């Protein structure tokens, strides 16, 4: 596949706010159409834009073709899932931080206890037995 075609397809993918099964199939059909028409010929990015439209135009056409309620539902669901994932990651990091700080506190307490029980100086008496 031509580098320009790959870049064009990648730019189309980046325009979509969500990428689920239907969107992937839509992009796959566009890619197959381009590949069928090119027949392994070199084609410039601008030629693709002239023939198929800009990536924004393709995304807009897709949004206009599908049911608006379905698209809004997918977008809201995607945002909700993203918030749940971010919240979960935040909780995991926060819990890890709390446990780490608690463990550092415990280790420091054990160190202080050890230092308090170690004699600072001692006197050694040697007794001579005759």
Q: Is the whole model's pTM more than 0.75, yes or no? A: no
Per-residue CA distances from 60 to 37, 64, 69, 81, 118 (Å): 23, 6, 15, 24, 76
Per residue of the chain (130 residues), what is the pLDDT tens digit?
A: 688 888 999 999 998 888 888 889 989 998 888 888 877 778 888 888 998 889 999 888 888 888 778 778 888 888 898 899 999 999 999 999 999 999 999 999 999 988 888 766 777 788 888 7
Query: What is the rounded distance in angstroms from the CA atom of residue 13 to the CA atom of residue 33?
Result: 16
CA angle 101, 103, 107 (to 5 degrees): 120
Which residue reads 């197959």 in tokens? Answer: 32
């Amino acid at each position: 596949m031509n580098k320009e075609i790959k870049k064009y397809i990648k730019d189309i993918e980046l325009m979509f706010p969500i990428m689920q099964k239907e969107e992937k199939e839509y992009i796959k059909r566009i890619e197959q159409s381009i590949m069928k028409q090119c027949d392994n010929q070199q084609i410039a990015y601008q030629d693709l834009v002239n023939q198929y439209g800009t990536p924004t135009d393709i995304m807009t056409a897709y949004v206009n073709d599908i049911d608006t309620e379905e698209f809004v539902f997918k977008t809201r669901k995607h945002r909700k899932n993203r918030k749940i994932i971010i919240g979960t990651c935040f909780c995991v990091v926060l819990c890890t931080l709390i446990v780490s700080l608690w463990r550092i506190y415990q280790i420091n307490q054990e160190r202080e206890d050890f230092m308090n029980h170690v004699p600072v100086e001692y006197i050694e008496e040697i007794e001579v037995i005759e």
